[in-house]
Amino acid sequence: MGNLEERKGLPLLGDKFPEMKVVSTHGELLLPEYFKGKWFVLFSHPADFTPVCTTEFVAFQKRYEKFKNLNCELIGLSVDQVFSHIKWIEWIKENLGVEIEFPIIADTGKAAETLGLIHPGKGTNTVRAVFVVDDKGIIRIIIYYPQELGRNIDEIIRAVEGMQISDKYGVAMPAMWPESEVVGKNHVIIPPAKDIMTARERFEKSKKGEFECFDWWLCHKKLEK
């Protein structure tokens, strides 16, 4: 029973995003239904009116169009009341000149508990978590950051785009993609051959210039979008 209880609070990659009704700055929302047909990034922050979180929200908003160009929406979350979110959004607009357009969940703690966002040693504050959910409502990426470290939003955009390309073309992304130091700029990894016949075919295709191989298990090609 203990293992089942632990499993319930810790969604894993490949799991369906748990259904939840939440209160937000855009009204009451049903997730993941609200984003049906779209990818979305749900990110939690420790609290409103805190310095690192403020810089993150500005960075997310400034890149909001890039996310939307990837058919991806944003939604924030913390254990704060709606009026706190609203006043914080007003402060950001008045003092930093940035208007936050995406919704922010005002959590009672229930959503955070469901998603495993409360660190036992941090009281009721949520950790800096990122959930990337695809257009079918499946959790594809989970990233956790400590309270002391603000997130790199460009990396989250890279991750969303990389997963979408992987799904579309059946390829994998090398380290530092799209600027790989090993396979080259805009090159993607061909999944390793699973049998001898496929391995032989790889070499034949590499001879024809369809892709390049360091060995039968490490082949790559330039992505032609």
- pLDDT band at residue 124 using 50, 70 and 90 as cut-offs: low
Could you tell me the residue range of the domain that residue 72 belongs to? Answer: 2-151
* 192-203 confidence digits (pLDDT tens): 888 888 888 877
- 73 pLDDT more than 70: yes
Residues 141 and 204 in one domain: no
CATH of residue 29: 3.40.30.10
**pLDDT for position 6:** 44
Number of neighbours of residue 3 by Cβ within 10 angstroms = 7
Tokens representing residue 183 in the block? 């396979």
80: Cβ contacts below 8 Å, ≥ 6 apart: 47, 48, 88, 106, 107
52 assigned to some structural domain: yes
The SS3 call for residue 20 is strand
Residues 124 and 179 in one domain: no
The number of distinct structural domains making up the chain is 2
Which carries the bigger pLDDT value, residue 172 or residue 197? Answer: 172
- pLDDT band at residue 18 using 50, 70 and 90 as cut-offs: very high
Residues 38 and 87 in one domain: yes
Active site residue 213: no
Residues 133 and 201 in one domain: no
147: Cβ contacts below 8 Å, ≥ 6 apart: 46, 52, 122, 125, 127, 128
Beta strands in 91-206 (DSSP E): 104-106, 128-133, 139-145, 187-190
163 assigned to some structural domain: no
Residues 59 and 26 in one domain: yes
33 assigned to some structural domain: yes
**pTM of the shown model:** 0.89
CATH of residue 200: 3.30.1020.10
Which position among 53, 72, 213, 219 bears the catalytic label?
53
**pLDDT for position 105:** 96
Contact 151, 43 (CB under 8 A): yes
What integer is the mean pLDDT of 166-180? 95
Q: Which residue in the block uniquely carries the two structure tokens 């995003």?
A: 17
Task: Give the amino acid at 118.
Answer: I
- 1 pLDDT more than 60: no
